[in-house]
Amino acid sequence: MGNGGEIRIYRRRRTLFFVLSLIDVYDRSVIDDHIGLSCSGSDAVKTLQRALFKRQLFEQTNKPVIRTDNGPQFISHAFEAACKRFGIEHERIPPRTPNRNAHIEALHRLLEEEWRLTAMKKLIKP
Protein backbone atom coordinates (compact mmCIF):
# COMPACT_ATOMS: atom_id res chain seq x y z
CA MET A 1 0.00 0.00 0.00
CA GLY A 2 2.22 2.75 -1.20
CA ASN A 3 -0.17 5.19 -2.81
CA GLY A 4 -2.63 7.17 -0.77
CA GLY A 5 -5.86 8.57 -1.98
CA GLU A 6 -6.99 11.74 -3.52
CA ILE A 7 -10.37 13.27 -4.00
CA ARG A 8 -12.15 13.48 -7.28
CA ILE A 9 -15.38 15.45 -7.50
CA TYR A 10 -18.12 14.35 -9.87
CA ARG A 11 -20.83 16.84 -10.70
CA ARG A 12 -24.18 16.14 -12.21
CA ARG A 13 -27.18 18.32 -11.61
CA ARG A 14 -25.56 20.02 -8.63
CA THR A 15 -24.71 16.73 -6.91
CA LEU A 16 -21.17 16.25 -5.69
CA PHE A 17 -19.66 12.86 -5.10
CA PHE A 18 -16.35 12.58 -3.37
CA VAL A 19 -14.25 9.51 -4.03
CA LEU A 20 -11.24 8.68 -1.87
CA SER A 21 -9.35 5.53 -2.84
CA LEU A 22 -6.44 3.77 -1.22
CA ILE A 23 -4.61 1.56 -3.67
CA ASP A 24 -1.59 -0.69 -3.53
CA VAL A 25 0.81 0.48 -6.23
CA TYR A 26 2.44 -2.94 -6.34
CA ASP A 27 -0.60 -4.98 -7.35
CA ARG A 28 -2.78 -1.95 -8.29
CA SER A 29 -5.71 -3.18 -6.28
CA VAL A 30 -8.09 -0.89 -4.46
CA ILE A 31 -7.71 -1.74 -0.80
CA ASP A 32 -10.49 0.51 0.46
CA ASP A 33 -12.40 3.59 -0.58
CA HIS A 34 -14.84 6.20 0.60
CA ILE A 35 -17.63 7.48 -1.61
CA GLY A 36 -19.97 10.12 -0.28
CA LEU A 37 -21.44 13.57 -0.47
CA SER A 38 -18.57 14.84 1.69
CA CYS A 39 -15.12 13.73 2.72
CA SER A 40 -13.57 14.93 5.96
CA GLY A 41 -10.39 14.10 7.80
CA SER A 42 -12.28 11.55 9.87
CA ASP A 43 -13.55 9.87 6.67
CA ALA A 44 -9.94 9.64 5.44
CA VAL A 45 -8.87 8.18 8.81
CA LYS A 46 -11.61 5.53 8.73
CA THR A 47 -10.67 4.59 5.16
CA LEU A 48 -6.99 4.31 6.10
CA GLN A 49 -7.82 2.26 9.19
CA ARG A 50 -9.96 -0.19 7.18
CA ALA A 51 -7.20 -0.53 4.55
CA LEU A 52 -4.58 -1.30 7.20
CA PHE A 53 -6.91 -3.83 8.78
CA LYS A 54 -7.66 -5.53 5.44
CA ARG A 55 -3.95 -5.89 4.68
CA GLN A 56 -3.19 -6.92 8.28
CA LEU A 57 -0.62 -4.15 8.68
CA PHE A 58 -1.33 -3.03 12.25
CA GLU A 59 1.09 -5.57 13.71
CA GLN A 60 3.76 -5.15 11.01
CA THR A 61 6.91 -3.22 11.87
CA ASN A 62 7.49 -2.23 8.24
CA LYS A 63 4.52 0.07 7.54
CA PRO A 64 3.58 1.47 4.13
CA VAL A 65 4.07 5.04 2.97
CA ILE A 66 0.85 6.86 2.18
CA ARG A 67 1.09 9.40 -0.65
CA THR A 68 -1.69 11.96 -0.97
CA ASP A 69 -2.42 15.31 -2.47
CA ASN A 70 -2.89 18.35 -0.21
CA GLY A 71 -6.65 18.12 0.12
CA PRO A 72 -8.20 19.44 3.34
CA GLN A 73 -8.92 15.93 4.64
CA PHE A 74 -5.23 14.99 4.29
CA ILE A 75 -3.82 18.09 5.97
CA SER A 76 -6.31 17.85 8.83
CA HIS A 77 -5.13 17.31 12.38
CA ALA A 78 -7.23 14.13 12.56
CA PHE A 79 -5.47 12.51 9.59
CA GLU A 80 -1.98 13.56 10.68
CA ALA A 81 -2.62 12.29 14.23
CA ALA A 82 -3.93 8.97 12.86
CA CYS A 83 -0.86 8.51 10.66
CA LYS A 84 1.35 9.10 13.67
CA ARG A 85 -0.73 6.76 15.85
CA PHE A 86 -0.69 4.02 13.18
CA GLY A 87 3.04 4.47 12.53
CA ILE A 88 2.46 5.45 8.91
CA GLU A 89 4.71 7.80 6.97
CA HIS A 90 2.53 10.39 5.21
CA GLU A 91 4.03 11.85 2.05
CA ARG A 92 2.24 14.73 0.32
CA ILE A 93 2.84 15.52 -3.33
CA PRO A 94 3.66 19.13 -4.25
CA PRO A 95 0.69 21.26 -5.35
CA ARG A 96 -0.29 20.99 -9.02
CA THR A 97 1.71 17.79 -9.62
CA PRO A 98 -0.92 15.07 -10.15
CA ASN A 99 1.64 13.03 -12.10
CA ARG A 100 3.30 12.25 -8.76
CA ASN A 101 0.16 10.35 -7.83
CA ALA A 102 -0.40 8.83 -11.28
CA HIS A 103 -1.85 5.48 -10.12
CA ILE A 104 -4.72 7.16 -8.29
CA GLU A 105 -5.23 9.67 -11.10
CA ALA A 106 -5.55 6.84 -13.63
CA LEU A 107 -7.99 4.92 -11.44
CA HIS A 108 -10.19 7.95 -10.88
CA ARG A 109 -10.10 8.84 -14.58
CA LEU A 110 -11.41 5.34 -15.39
CA LEU A 111 -14.13 5.67 -12.75
CA GLU A 112 -15.17 9.04 -14.14
CA GLU A 113 -15.30 7.73 -17.72
CA GLU A 114 -17.39 4.75 -16.63
CA TRP A 115 -19.72 7.00 -14.64
CA ARG A 116 -20.22 9.30 -17.65
CA LEU A 117 -20.86 6.39 -20.01
CA THR A 118 -23.42 4.95 -17.62
CA ALA A 119 -25.12 8.34 -17.27
CA MET A 120 -25.24 8.75 -21.07
CA LYS A 121 -26.73 5.28 -21.53
CA LYS A 122 -29.50 6.15 -19.09
CA LEU A 123 -30.25 9.36 -20.99
CA ILE A 124 -30.33 7.61 -24.39
CA LYS A 125 -32.81 4.82 -23.83
CA PRO A 126 -34.11 2.99 -26.95
Q: What is the pLDDT of residues 66-84, one digit of tens each?
A: 999 999 999 999 999 999 9
The three-state secondary structure class of 103 is helix
Q: How far apart are CA 29 and CA 38, in angstroms?
A: 24
| Confidence band, pLDDT 50/70/90 cuts, at residue 92 | very high
**pTM score, two decimals?**
0.78
Fold observed for domain 7-123: Nucleotidyltransferase; domain 5 (3.30.420)
Per-residue burial over 68-84, b if 16 or more Cβ lie within 10 Å, else e, is bbebebbebeebeebbe
Greater model confidence, 111 or 82: 82
Which of 51, 26, 35, 49 has the alpha carbon at shortest distance from 103? 26
Average pLDDT of every residue of the chain: 83
Helix, strand, coil shares, percent, the chain, to 5: 40, 25, 35
* Predicted local distance difference test score (pLDDT) of residue 5: 46
